[in-house]
């Protein structure tokens, strides 16, 4: 059982990822593919005249303010356009992919964060009407049912709240949660960088191994911006039973097979 997360940023080689999935599924492997979509959502939001609003939490983390209108754009772009593009490509590669979001069949249940404390121009404020959440439960039986009947689930990073509202959730955390719930032997996070870099501007500065005991330290020393979430997702997954997380380059030929062969950052 392998859980693969494919980045939403520009550059990840969709054809190559799908070809690798076809090879692995052909060899009898079970795979769940999770994808992102923030980059494309930003572009579409701009075109729709609703530019994304990024805010900073009091602890210094940047995040997207997801009001109801933003949530609907996320649903449209992530669960619609991107999810179906991936399903189409997998079908063309001979893989019987089924696209769904965490909302469908209550695949992912999350606790809604209704308010967002932020710091703006040096002042603390609270934004209301936020639709994002933290994953609390994965509907394992739904995933197992699909996997056992030969489907490859393609999961868009949305969830359902305990009060049945659609929520935005982080794709890297989705991969970690599904990986732990299914006891995956490995979670592979494919992005537009070779892995965790000592210097994010220098691709030659790859850190190839991170022991779990030092993962938090590496996160604080080296990861910036969205790489922090990948490291947090990796730590979550390893603490709850996944044996190995790979953060690897999704832009190359055979991205998945290379990652499984150890190219990238191994956290274990
Ligand atoms: P995805 O869309 O694939 O989830 P993101 O763009 O969210 O990818 O996250 C990967 C980005 O994190 C890289 O493009 C890079 O700019 C940034 N980053 C920050 N710190 C690091 C680091 N130490 N090593 C690698 N990438 C880093």
Do the strands 116-120 and 186-191 form a parallel or antiparallel pair, or are they unpaired? unpaired
Measure 262 CA to ligand 1 centroid, in angstroms: 19
136: Cα separation from own chain's centroid? 16
User: Is the pLDDT reported for residue 57 higher than 80?
Assistant: yes
Residues near ligand 1 (Cβ within 6 A): 7-9, 36, 191-193, 196-197, 200, 222-227
Q: What Cα–Cα distance (Å) separates residue 17 from each residue in 10, 31, 84, 95, 101?
A: 14, 12, 15, 12, 20
pLDDT in tens, 87-131: 999 999 999 999 999 999 999 999 999 999 999 999 999 999 999
Residue 208 confidence class, pLDDT cut points 50, 70, 90: very high
Residue 223 lies in a domain: yes
User: Is the pLDDT reported for residue 146 higher than 90?
Assistant: yes
Q: Which residues pair with 158 in a beta bridge?
A: 168
**Residue with CA nearest ligand 1 atom 19:** 224
Residue pair 196/265 in contact by the 8 Å Cβ criterion:
yes
Residue 129 lies in a domain: yes
Measure 26 CA to ligand 1 centroid, in angstroms: 31
Q: Count structural domains, the chain.
A: 1
Q: Which residues pair with 124 in a beta bridge?
A: 119
Residue 66 lies in a domain: yes
* pLDDT score for 225: 86
Residue 268 lies in a domain: no
Q: What is the CATH number of the domain that holds 228?
A: 3.40.1160.10
Residue 72 lies in a domain: yes
Residue pair 128/159 in contact by the 8 Å Cβ criterion:
no
Measure 244 CA to ligand 1 centroid, in angstroms: 19
For 35, the token pair is 């994808």
pLDDT in tens, 18-34: 999 999 999 999 999 99
Residue 69 confidence class, pLDDT cut points 50, 70, 90: very high
Tell me the best of 42, 226, 232 to mutate to test the pocket of ligand 1, counting ligand atoms within 8 Å of each CB and taking the most. 226
Per the structure, the complete domain to which residue 166 belongs is given by 2-263
pLDDT in tens, 227-237: 998 999 999 99
User: Which residues neighbour 37 within 8 Å (Cβ) at sequence distance 6 or greater?
Assistant: 8, 74, 77, 78, 82, 156, 157, 171
Measure 172 CA to ligand 1 centroid, in angstroms: 12
């Amino acid at each position: 059982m392998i859980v693969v997360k494919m980045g939403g940023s520009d550059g990840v080689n969709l054809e190559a990822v799908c070809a690798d999935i076809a090879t692995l599924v052909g060899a009898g492997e079970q795979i769940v593919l999770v994808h992102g979509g923030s980059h494309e959502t930003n572009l579409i939001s701009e075109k729709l005249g609703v530019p994304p609003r990024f805010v900073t939490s009091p602890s210094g983390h940047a995040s997207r303010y997801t009001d109801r209108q933003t949530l609907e754009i996320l649903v449209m772009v992530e669960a619609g356009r991107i999810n179906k593009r991936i399903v189409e490509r997998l079908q063309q590669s001979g893989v019987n992919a089924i696209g769904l979001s965490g909302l469908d069949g209550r695949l992912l249940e999350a606790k809604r964060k209704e308010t967002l404390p932020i710091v703006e121009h040096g002042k603390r404020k609270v934004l209301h009407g936020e639709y994002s959440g933290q994953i609390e439960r994965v509907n394992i039986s739904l995933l197992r049912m699909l996997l056992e009947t030969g489907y490859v689930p393609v999961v868009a990073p949305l969830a359902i709240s305990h009060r049945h509202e659609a929520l935005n959730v982080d794709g890297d955390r989705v991969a970690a949660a599904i990986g732990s719930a299914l006891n995956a032997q490995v979670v592979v996070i494919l992005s537009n960088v070779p892995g965790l870099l000592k210097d994010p501007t220098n691709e030659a500065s790859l850190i190839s191994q991170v022991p779990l005991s030092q993962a938090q330290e590496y996160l604080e020393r080296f990861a910036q911006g969205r790489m922090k979430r990948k490291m947090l997702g990796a730590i979550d997954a390893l603490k709850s039973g996944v044996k190995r997380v790979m953060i690897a380059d999704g832009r190359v030929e055979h991205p998945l097979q290379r990652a499984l062969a150890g190219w990238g950052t191994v956290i274990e």
